[in-house]
Structure 1
Amino acid sequence: MATTNTLSDAAIRKAKPGEKPRKLSDGGGLYLELQPNGGKWWRLKYRFEGKEKRIGLGTYPEVSLADARKRRDESRALVAAGTDPSEARKAGKVEHQRQQHAEALAAAGEPLPGTFEHVAREFHAGKAEGWSASYAGKWLTYCTRDLFPRLGALPLADITAPKLLEVLRLVEARGTRVSAHDLRQYAGQVFRYGIQTGHCERNPAADLTGALKPAQVRHMAAVLEPVQVGALLRNIGEYAGHPVTRAALALSALLFQRPGNVRAMEWSEIDAGAALWTIPAAKMKRTVHGKVNGRPHLVPLAAQALQVLEELRPLTGRGRFVFPSLMGGGECMSENTIRAALRRMGYTNEEMTAHGFRAMARTLIVERLPGIGPDVIEAQLAHGKAGPLGMAYDRAEFMDQRRQMMQTWADYLDKLRHGAQVIPFKAA
């Protein structure tokens, strides 16, 4: 039914205010309310869900009669469609504020709320404290380099599995398959957090299982054959470089700990009387929680290892580090020193690395030294297990076995160095 309009601009201009507010009615629930102070307000009276309600449409003459009727018609159309005009206006104000906030963030170069980058940075900020510094840094660096430029500005809910795969394939194309798999994992973490915080309803990263090319994990090069190990040990003994570097090479073979731990070994951590090297938890490859609350890692010292340390003590024993930097400055030996020494001895990066001493020990102990349980080997490598029993590896439960293993390993290396033939034992 057409609305009958009864007001005119002339009638509005002639209308005089009274002592009390009065109404000048138009059609369809629209009226102009005259205030005693001369103010003129457009109002709309309507019914929604059986209740009478009112909404303001502006002031006259800022809002003309024609504009007021247009706003009336728009509001009535909302009612006919099942929407309360009052609630629609509130939502509009919220959206306007959101847009203003978004424009301010964009002007400041900040990610918009609900976008991939915003949710990712929020997730990272909440988790980084419990991660190691290296993992937290790697996580954000990878996302900033590869995910944010192409996905960062998109609302989390709008990112599909094909879109994510398109970005990961670009990483694959660079020849960095491991990075592509890492990024898929990081994206999955962001989407799971997005589901928890109401930014999206599904995790497209989970739909990409098997979509990427297999990651080609590059294992650290290591000498694994007994005869070649014997030659390596003789080369270390004859190394013509700095004696501190030669000692670091010898202990890398005897102790098979992580290269970073060997380089950062401190004299205060060595108990020669107890034949024990105690690596503080803070130096171990663990989560932040594990570094702060974990137990130290214990490394029994065989007689040969103690001999190397005693020969080294006159050279570096007055300082903090067993293997100080050859450049001075109070730092420990650089990570490149062992690598350079191996190259000087003729070993390429594909033949032997500083980390390769761990693989060398693990392989030969399993294959050549019978009677040593795998748990004992893993405990000495500081490969902890998940679960409530995992930290038991750093306790004294295996110390007797570990002491015996380390001495047996050192004696075995002596045999290889001297060229003795060692026959492998077959498992029963």
Structure 2
Amino acid sequence: MLSITDFRSGMPTGIALRDALPRASMNVEDAAEKIRPVLEDVKLRGAQALRDWAERFDGVRPKCLRVEAAELSKALEQLDPQVREAMEIAIAHNQAGHRAQLPNEQVTQIVPGGTVTQRWIPVERVGLYVPGGLAVYPSSVIMNVVAASVAGVEQIAVASPPQARFGGRVHPTILAACQLLGVSEVYAVGGAQAIAMFAYGAKGQAGLDSDTLCQPVDVITGPGNIFVAAAKRLVRSVCGIDAEAGPTEIAIIADSGANPALVAADMISQAEHDPNAASLLFTDSEELAGAVEARIVTEAKATKHSARVREALSGKQSGIVLVKDMEDAVKAVNAYAPEHLEIQTENAHELAQKIRNAGAIFIGSYTPVPLGDYLAGSNHVLPTGGTARYVGGLSVMAYLKPVQQVEYARTALKKMAHPLTAFADAEDLPAHQEAVNCRFS
């Protein structure tokens, strides 16, 4: 089922190594051209366009695009108590994890009488996208909303696809999570059209073109398919985005002492997300690789979403990478830059310190990725497709703006007048020096 890439006799370097590793093909540019008309239509026709595209893409025409308060309350009242308890634990853990990310305001005295204060100011309004295709993700509601609320965002809006089996309404578990988190602005809008609604705003609820359905936002975050990623790319000049997230990925570094049953279970757990999900094992043990392959063949048949799992694990994006030693495993993983990285080795902590490129790192046999998906206190909205080389996972920083506040006294400015005049002369900007020197005329 799993392809084998064997680097034991020699491993390429640089871009050649990156290209030699299994990877899903994801052409965001092609997807962007396909959905560009969707964004333009939503920008032009608002609510009417949102209903038309929902009918085409989601198979249902939602009656109400904005969820009513009574529906949110009802969803929470009818939520399974055990699921509610799990959500409450996840919220508490994520609040603790995200509060630790908050940067402190810092005042630096540059010269006597001259200070620069580093402030962190939250954006005013955000749009959070929660997918709802092959699976339903109340956990993504928690990850997005907690990060934004801890950052201090005042206006939080959530969008999730209308569900045909619920008559064009958002899945009730998603609504329950929103209610639990105190989010009252929720829309039954999915895919690229939701990104367009957040970026441009939308008019015309219930056919009244003078009404405003949704105001534009400052930042859009949240996972989604390739069309959501493409839509984010197209609107990033209008508002901020977190990242262009694609199909989920797991990479596992494991040595001969790892338990093949645990490795196989973790690879399957990510494969059940999506037929395009990537599951990769990096190991220097041929025996472990064979044992993991055998377990996967057996377990993949027994799991609920077996067809999806088998397609993901047999795709070109998944496989086993054999390496000479753990040092090469680290080099290969850093080249791959996975969304999730598990390290199941004897010296897991030591190896983790050598990892430069990964969305999140899970250390040891008792820290599986699903823990991070729900309850670990970390955020599960993470970079995919190798983008972990230059971007991190969703955090409070996605909603904060660094603003420097400068304050100089008269004496401090006077000491800077001479060197500032020299700079202004060098750049032939005499009005710059005059703006300073006129204060001492």
> Scaled by the length of structure 2, what TM-score is found?
0.20
Higher strand share: 2
Higher helix share: 1
**Which structure would you say has the larger RCO, counting Cα contacts within 8 Å and 6 or more residues apart?**
2
> Scaled by the length of structure 1, what TM-score is found?
0.21
